Amino acid sequence: MRAAGSREAFRKVDYDYPAETARFGAAAGAEQYLLVSSVGARRTSPNFYLRVKGETEDAVRSSGIPSVGIFRPSFLLGDRPALRASEATAIRVVSKLSFVMVGPTRRFRPIEGAVVARAMVEVGRRKTTGITMYESETIQRIGAVPTGIPV
């Protein structure tokens, strides 16, 4: 959110654009919509980031597109041009502690961005209908298998 510069700018990118894209897609006859959200996203969250992500999920779900896949990864790992020091430290700590993340905390294990992309490609190839939520563990399982498409 810091990269966006303000809450308004963040909301424009993380809510307005995906919600409008889903609405326009539905009007144009889109059959599938895949959204990257976040672990813990919830419309009623007291956390602004998670609340906006939850509102976005709701908007996409209600768009009328027959097949909606919502991906909820945990911390995303991978090369990024502007990784802040606090973010880099948090990712290092969580990565080193991921082996103790079992049971309910397992969903907070960090995940490679490329794994999320591979999972989305695989899900995009499937002929599904309805709304499907893909939590971080499921994303890891689906995306661990190479698709043959570079990401």
Q: Is the distance from CB of 18 to CB of 60 less than 8 angstroms? A: yes
Annotated catalytic residue within 49, 96, 127, 134: 49
Annotated catalytic residue within 12, 15, 33, 53: 53
CA distances 144 to 58, 99, 107, 123, 127, Å, are: 28, 18, 16, 13, 20
- Determine whether 49 is an active site residue: yes
Q: What is the 3-state secondary structure (H, E, C) of 124-146?
A: HHCCCCEEEEEEHHHHHHHHCCC
Active site residue ranges: 49, 53
